[in-house]
Amino acid sequence: MPDDRFLLTISGRDRPGLAGELFGAVTAVTSEITDIGQITIRGHLVLCIEVQLHSSATRGELAEAIARTSIDADDSLSIEISSSTERVEAEGRRLLVTLVSRVIEPGSLGAVFSTIAACGGDVERIVRLADRPVQAYELLVRGSHPEHLRTELGQVAVTESLDIAVQRAGLHRRAKRLIVMDADSTLLKGEVIDKLAARLGIEERVAAITEAAMAGDLDFAEALAERVSLLAGLAVAEIEGVAAELELMPGARTLLRTLQRLGYLTAVVSGGFTQVIAPLLAELGIDHLAANELEVVDGVATGGLVGPIIDRQAKAEALIRFAAEEGVPVSQVVAVGDGANDIDMLQVAGLGIAFNARPIVREAADTALSVPYLDAVLFMLGISRQEIDAADQDG
């Protein structure tokens, strides 16, 4: 192809009117602005503009046009003009790589960038999403095969103790409009059934069964029936006491508040119990709930359940049902969970996020978060801490 496209790179101290002056100067020799990008960090500007020259214009004329501006005379700015060639074959393969950790060390960033390059990718854009309570960056990558990059970066995630997500770039990402969460150890601290067992003095016994079920070592439905049977004789007053003492996971209110402001619908699908979690979820404005119901007779739990069991398969079915009721494609649903009974739900969703999950769940999900803050889910959706704080100030 003709060498008539050039990349202008201006870096240095930012000042008002700089871009306007530059565009005005190159108008006479260019037929089209084919690409543009800018970033400013603490007053330092990097502005990149790709231009298509008129058929009769030359690189020398482009340089002369820029030389007549005040930009050329500004010692605090540097200007570079380089030949630009298209990589059409990679245009359709833009990926978003999200990095999250308490602290992201330079060496870890080096490992990520080296791996992207080894997979044939170029990083086109870097955006800092958060600097508290975790650090998060989003990279726009072009040219790498998604599954290959996901596999290779998965190894980097392990060696560098990073949470790394690889997603296809595009509008579909912002279109996700339903988030479905597990309750116990995801939205809520701890396991509700263990808290109920504590009221009967059998917490350790029940917690051991819970751990095995969540790790996938026991069939969830059988483990649930066994644990519920041990709750026989628990008074309603004790159940209500546990409900009143529930604690949200750090960042849960921020996550829900931000998503609701953005128009997201929210749902909780839980292997826990409606009598315990429903009051809190109503306060939080959760739109949908599917959970088990304890059978209660004469104010006392019988050790049985009422209605169908919300197990692994039922969780996925509830997600699909809620999406259909709201007219949201399943591909635009985000699911978040931590236990083996969440796997089907995570896999059927457009984006499945394992949150502080067991290894079996992390392997099944699209991505995983190991930081103890639920609002880190927002960074996987490309929502920055700055946007979250601005919304809180406006709201």
Cis peptide before 133 (omega within 30 of 0): yes
| Residues 96, 138 contacting (CB under 8 angstroms) | yes
Q: In terms of Cα–Cα distance, which of 394, 309, 367, 324 is closest to 168?
A: 367
Verify whether residue 184 is a known catalytic residue.
yes
Determine the Cα–Cα distance for residues 123 and 142; give it in Å rounded to an integer. 6
Active-site residue, from 163, 184, 194, 366: 184
How many Cα atoms within 13 Å fall on the side-chain side of residue 340? Answer: 15
What is residue 39's three-state secondary structure?
strand
Active site residue 122: no
Judge whether 115 and 154 are in contact, CB under 8 Å: no
**What distance in Å separates the CA atoms of residue 209 and residue 227, rounded to the nearest whole number?**
7
Nearest of 111, 161, 298, 314 to residue 224 by alpha carbon: 314
Catalytic choice (182, 311, 338, 344): 182
Q: Which of 359, 379, 1, 349 is nearest to 177 (CA)?
A: 349
Question: CA angle at residue 72 from 71 to 73, to 5 degrees?
Answer: 90
Q: How far lies 301's CA from each of 43, 190, 239, 259, 306, in Å? A: 64, 21, 9, 36, 11
CA distance 41 to 34: 24
| Residue 320 · residue 328 · CB < 8 Å | no
Please identify every residue annotated as catalytic: 182, 184
